[in-house]
């Protein structure tokens, strides 16, 4: 469980760093970023596609980090609570499956395979947990 949480925390943290620093999450064509900076959403004129892009990436990062922090904390300090709670196990599992599906459909190989490993760690920790928990 701790391994699963650590993977999501690391991915989320790295993604947050890439969102605000460096070129990794910027378009290869600078004209695309310029156009995104000048184009408003149909939903509202209060933001641009570029600002929404940054916000979506930052909140996406924070979600992965939250998963990693909460499940890591529970795995370290509240093992019985975590493993005796069908709610926490189902929510965590569904979240990881959702992330794996998104990674497969929309992202690239590193987040896909990393989240597959995180899901495998999560499921393994449930299957292999000691009977005393």
pLDDT per residue as tens digits for the range 88-100? 999 999 999 999 9
| pLDDT confidence band for 11 (50 / 70 / 90) | very high
Name the CA radius of gyration of the chain, rounded: 18
What integer best gives the mean pLDDT of the chain? 96
| pLDDT confidence band for 131 (50 / 70 / 90) | confident
Is 78 contained in some domain? yes
Average pLDDT score over residue span 72-76: 97
Nearest residue to 4 via CA among 122, 129, 124: 122
Question: Whole-prediction pTM value?
Answer: 0.90
Is 133 contained in some domain? no
Is 122 contained in some domain? yes
Task: For residue 33, give its domain range.
Answer: 2-127
Is 132 contained in some domain? no
Is 28 contained in some domain? yes
Judged against a pLDDT cut of 90, whether residue 46 lies above it is answered with: yes
| Structure tokens that stand for 10 in this block | 């690391």
Residues 89/16, Cβ–Cβ less than 8 Å = no
Give me the residues paired with residue 40 across strands: 48
| Residue showing tokens 């990436």 | 57
The tally of domains found in the chain comes to 1
SS3 annotation, 34-52:
HHHHHCECCCCCCCEHHHH
- Give residue 114's pLDDT: 97
Is 65 contained in some domain? yes
Is 113 contained in some domain? yes
Is 68 contained in some domain? yes
Between 70-74, 76-80, 129-133, the lowest mean confidence (pLDDT) is in 129-133
Nearest residue to 2 via CA among 66, 91, 69: 69
| Structure tokens that stand for 59 in this block | 């909140």
pLDDT per residue as tens digits for the range 101-113? 999 999 999 999 9
Which residues, including other chains, have CB under 8 Å from residue 64's CB and lie 6 or more apart? 8, 9, 11, 12, 15, 99
Average pLDDT score over residue span 126-130: 90
């Amino acid at each position: 469980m701790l391994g699963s949480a650590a993977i999501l925390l690391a991915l989320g943290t790295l993604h947050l760093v890439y969102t605000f620093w460096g070129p990794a999450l910027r378009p290869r064509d600078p004209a695309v970023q310029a156009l995104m900076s000048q184009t408003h959403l149909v939903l509202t004129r209060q933001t641009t596609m570029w600002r929404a892009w940054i916000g979506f990436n930052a909140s996406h990062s924070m979600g992965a980090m939250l998963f990693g922090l909460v499940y890591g904390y529970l795995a370290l300090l509240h093992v019985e609570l975590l493993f005796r709670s069908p709610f926490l196990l189902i929510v965590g599992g569904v979240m990881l499956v959702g992330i794996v599906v998104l990674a497969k459909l929309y992202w690239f190989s590193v987040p896909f395979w990393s989240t597959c490993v995180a899901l495998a760690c999560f499921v393994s920790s449930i299957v292999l947990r000691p009977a005393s928990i």
